[in-house]
Amino acid sequence: MRDHSEDAGTHADSLIDRVVSRLRADGHYALGSRRIDLRPADARRVLHELGHFRYEHFSYIRFLEKLAHILGMAHEERRSPGERRLLLDAAGFFLAGIGRALHEPGGDGRVLGYSGELSGIFEVAAKRGTVFQAIAIHGDEDGRIRALESVDIPVLDGEGQTVKEFDAVSHNAVFEFKFHATLKKLYQQILGVGSRRPHAELLARDPRFLGIRNLVYFGERAGGGGEIVRAIAGYAARHGIPVERSERGGIAIRLPLPAFRGFIRDPETLRLLRTEALGLADTWRWGVDLDRLASSGELARVDTVLGELERLHEDAEEKFEVIIAISNCPSSQPGCQGVHP
């Protein structure tokens, strides 16, 4: 009888060899002003250690495959030198971060965070067969997302202090990458419910981002009980909005700002947000009264910011859109049933 665990081990070793062979021999990587060293031998050690990492929905083989693809794309001559360099630097940086997190107390979340960022970078750069292939993001002549221009970019205020960090930026889009995408993180980090300086506020009020036409919220998987997928699928069905599906089992929805404003205030979306938060009560301390959120000043403030963003682009040929995408949404996962044909 064939030993499938042995097959998986052989496949992992082959992928590790591919990854290490495509990393820089000198081990030098840079993102912005930050520099790190990750020698090929150290990268191999990190990848083997990651093979012992266990967490819900984390797939070691899927991670290795995406990382190998990112590094393969970093060596494709059809890509610009800037994109190739960015892909290689991001891979080295995040792999080094995973190596540190594996040995830090409470480092599981950081391992997942780096994994989610690498997954998002892969999906954006690869496009074919991913959740972004069918999403024609505005401003693209070929109907696809433009190449990433920067990763992990700090947004500084007038005094040089960091007020926000964007996971990635392209010519026409800002990206937030997660391993587990949730409604809570959408409301908190993207919209600013219970937090300060969210993505939406910066895009509406900072002139440096006037050229941005898309805010992309991406997750490798849906967190909690899949409430974010249920919210997307339900709202789309009620309002006749198409949900795009990828060859790899992902889903995505694109919402013009008026529809997105309706989505975040929709009673069913808010009900699912509360259900999700209650299910993760042991790990989330948010400090937001979800029972009264619909009539709260918090949500009214968010709607004001989104209204500003909508008016900012009302005369533009390319209107602003919010895109929510989940890379891997198998029918076996709660919330994902019924969203695939």
Highest mean pLDDT among 108-122, 126-140, 141-155, 293-307: 108-122
What are the tokens at 109? Answer: 């979340």
Place of tokens 């990492």: 53
pLDDT band, very low/low/confident/very high, at 144 (cuts 50, 70, 90): very low
Convert the pLDDT of each residue in 70-106 to its tens digit: 999 999 999 999 999 999 999 999 999 999 999 999 9
- pLDDT > 70: what percent of the chain? 90
What does the pLDDT look like over 311-340, one tens digit per residue?
998 887 778 999 999 999 887 777 786 665
Region at 226 (left for phi over 0; alpha for psi -120 to 50; beta for the rest): left
Residue 79 has what pLDDT?
93
C-alpha span between 307 and 191 (Å, rounded): 12
Percent of the chain with pLDDT over 90: 63
Using the predicted structure, report yes or no on whether residue 5 has a pLDDT greater than 70: no
In this prediction, residue 244 carries a pLDDT of 85
Task: Give the model's pLDDT for residue 7.
Answer: 64
Inform me whether the pLDDT recorded for 310 exceeds 90: yes
Half-sphere exposure of 170 (CA within 13 A, CB side): 23
**pLDDT, tens digit, for every residue of 195-240?**
888 999 999 999 999 889 999 999 999 998 999 999 999 999 999 9
**152-211 pLDDT, tens per residue?**
988 887 777 888 899 999 988 999 999 999 999 999 999 999 888 899 999 999 999 988
Q: How confident is the model at residue 3 (pLDDT cuts 50, 70, 90)?
A: very low
Query: What was the pLDDT predicted at 135?
Result: 66
Rounded Cα distance, 231 and 217, in Å: 14
**SS3 (DSSP) at 48:** helix
When the pLDDT of each residue in the chain is averaged and rounded to a whole number, the result is 88
Task: Look at residue 2 and tell me whether its pLDDT is greater than 50.
Answer: no
The CA distances from residue 49 to 15, 87, 108, 150, 317, in Å, are: 14, 23, 13, 29, 50
Residue 261 has pLDDT above 60, yes or no: yes
Beta strands in the chain (DSSP E): 28-31, 34-37, 148-156, 162-170, 173-181, 214-222, 244-245, 251-256, 321-326
Gap between the Cα atoms of 216 and 137, Å rounded: 10
